[in-house]
């Protein structure tokens, strides 16, 4: 998560898709913004 937070600080106005293994993940407030745009359901 350190790398995610560092990247997020560098790009505060964007939505960060962070690669974890074979998948891209969106975390925290970015997920709340991106979910309706992408038409997906948030999980916890």
pLDDT digits 0-9 by tens, 3-39: 999 999 999 999 999 999 999 999 999 999 999 999 9
pLDDT of residue 44: 78
| Residue closest to 27 by CA, chosen among 6, 4, 11, 2 | 4
CA distances from 23 to 13, 20, 34, 39 (A): 22, 5, 16, 17
User: Model confidence over 21-30: pLDDT tens digits?
Assistant: 999 999 999 9
At residue 3, φ and ψ (nearest 5 deg) are -65, -40
For the chain, the structural domain boundaries read 2-38
């Amino acid at each position: 998560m350190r790398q995610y937070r560092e990247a997020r600080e560098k790009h505060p106005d964007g939505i960060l898709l962070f690669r974890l293994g074979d998948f891209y993940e969106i975390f925290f407030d970015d997920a709340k913004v991106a979910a309706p745009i992408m038409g997906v359901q948030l999980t916890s």
